[in-house]
């Protein structure tokens, strides 16, 4: 059994950077945002163990994804994130920007599919993290003294404004997510974005920082943040694979881990193992929660970078 880890890159040669490597200051702002987004996807993928998700142990509930595929996808998307940032900087939320970003996102999805040989590793993350990259590019300001929560909320609300506009070039499609939204009357990734990313700014980030404040190591803190998201998210990936039974297993199981004190405790680890067994039995994988954890890590990087090494205040 692997311990909870934020794995460093090994022989694959895709070195995992510290979140704020010194050379990042030399990058142009758009490239820096893209690197933060790429690293957030890599760190989410490498976080081990995660319940029924791809990690260093294996493929979880997936039969078409593994860690190497997730890493190829993350690296393939870095130019897309940079293009999203470049298109957004100096722009304002509106239909024109929304349509331009969607065009870039579709090209990014094609690049992802080429890198993964046809597997959908990060379609949801292109939308979720890509919008946050755009929001961060629009609201870019020098290092400041406002609270971490205020800065994160500002980025998320700006991204939400973009998401509320229509993509004029969108073609009618009946995706798995759309079918799930209609069948179960849930919001999905679109509503999450349009409502200001509540599972990032109100759930994931506070849980991440609370675990750190309690002295948890980084891997435990990140898994606790994932579980906090899972406990309240109507995850369309879970609903698509396992219906309402899957949603109940994911939400209730994640909450049991939290009630047991989180994954750093013996009782919490036992509850985590039970959660994973239940999800695997249902072939359910909380991919929506994983995308939102990556978004949480992306915003966390931006906030810490902006605070310039000062203690992060997580008060609204």
CA torsion, points 298, 300, 305, 308, in degrees to nearest 10? 180
pTM tops 0.85: yes
Predicted local distance difference test score (pLDDT) of residue 175: 79
Q: For residue 33, what are its two tokens? A: 């945002």
Residue 10 backbone dihedrals phi, psi, to 5 degrees: -100, -130
Closest-CA residue to 54 (of 286, 297, 257): 286
Res 11: pLDDT: 32
Neighbours of 170 (CB within 10 A): 11
pLDDT in single tens digits along all 316 residues of the chain? 556 776 554 433 333 333 444 444 436 999 999 999 999 999 999 999 999 999 999 999 999 999 999 999 999 999 999 999 999 999 999 999 999 999 999 999 999 999 999 999 999 999 999 999 999 999 986 555 567 778 899 999 999 999 999 998 887 777 788 899 999 999 999 999 999 999 999 999 999 999 999 999 999 999 999 999 999 999 999 999 999 999 999 999 999 999 999 999 999 999 999 999 999 999 999 999 999 999 999 999 999 888 776 666 565 5
Taking the C-alpha atoms of residue 67 and residue 45, their distance in angstroms, rounded to an integer, is 7
- 233: how many CB neighbours lie within 10 A of its CB? 25
Give 48's strand partners.
5
Give 157-190 as a DSSP string: HHHHHHHTS--TTPPP---HHHHHHHHHT--HHH
Q: Of 129, 195, 124, 128, nearest to 157 (Cα)?
A: 195
| DSSP annotation of 23 | G
Say how far apart CA 66 and CA 78 lie, in whole Å: 19
Angle at 166 between CA 178 and CA 111, to 5 degrees: 70
Written as six digits, the tokens of 260 are 């047991």
pLDDT given at position 314: 61
Q: Which two tokens stand for residue 108?
A: 């990014």
Q: Alpha carbon of 216 to those of 45, 212, 223: distances in Å?
A: 20, 5, 11
Q: From CA 293, how far away is CA 310, in angstroms rounded? A: 23
Q: Which residues contact 278 (CB under 8 A, 6 or more apart)?
A: 249, 253
How many whole angstroms separate alpha carbon 214 and alpha carbon 102?
Answer: 40
Residues 67/47, Cβ–Cβ less than 8 Å: no
Backbone Cα Rg of the chain: 18
């Amino acid at each position: 059994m692997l311990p909870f880890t934020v794995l460093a890159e090994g022989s694959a040669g895709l070195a995992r950077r510290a979140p704020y490597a010194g050379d990042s200051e030399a990058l142009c702002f758009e490239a820096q945002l893209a690197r933060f987004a790429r690293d957030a996807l890599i760190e989410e993928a490498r976080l081990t163990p995660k319940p029924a998700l791809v990690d260093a142990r294996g493929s979880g509930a997936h039969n078409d994804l593994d860690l190497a595929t997730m890493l190829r996808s993350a690296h393939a998307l870095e130019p897309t994130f940079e293009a999203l940032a470049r298109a957004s900087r100096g722009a304002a939320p509106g239909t024109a920007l929304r349509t331009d970003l969607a065009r870039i996102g579709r090209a990014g999805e094609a690049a992802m599919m080429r890198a993964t040989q046809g597997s959908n590793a990060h379609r949801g993350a292109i939308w979720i993290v890509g919008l946050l990259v755009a929001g961060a590019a629009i609201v870019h300001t020098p290092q400041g003294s406002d609270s971490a929560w205020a800065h994160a909320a500002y980025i998320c609300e700006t991204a939400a404004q973009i998401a509320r506009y229509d993509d004029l070039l969108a073609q009618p499609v009946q995706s798995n997510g759309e079918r799930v939204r209609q069948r179960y009357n849930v919001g999905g990734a679109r509503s999450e974005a349009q409502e200001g990313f509540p599972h990032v700014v109100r759930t994931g980030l506070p849980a991440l920082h609370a675990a750190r404040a309690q002295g948890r190591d980084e891997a435990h803190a990140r898994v606790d943040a994932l579980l906090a998201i899972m406990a309240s998210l109507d995850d369309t990936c879970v609903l698509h694979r396992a219906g309402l039974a899957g949603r109940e297993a994911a939400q209730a199981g994640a909450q049991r881990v939290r009630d047991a004190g989180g994954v750093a405790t013996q009782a919490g680890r036992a509850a985590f193992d039970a959660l994973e067994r239940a999800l695997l039995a249902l072939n359910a994988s909380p991919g929506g929660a994983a995308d939102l954890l990556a978004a949480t890590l992306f915003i966390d990087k931006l906030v810490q970078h902006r605070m310039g090494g000062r203690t992060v205040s997580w008060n609204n």
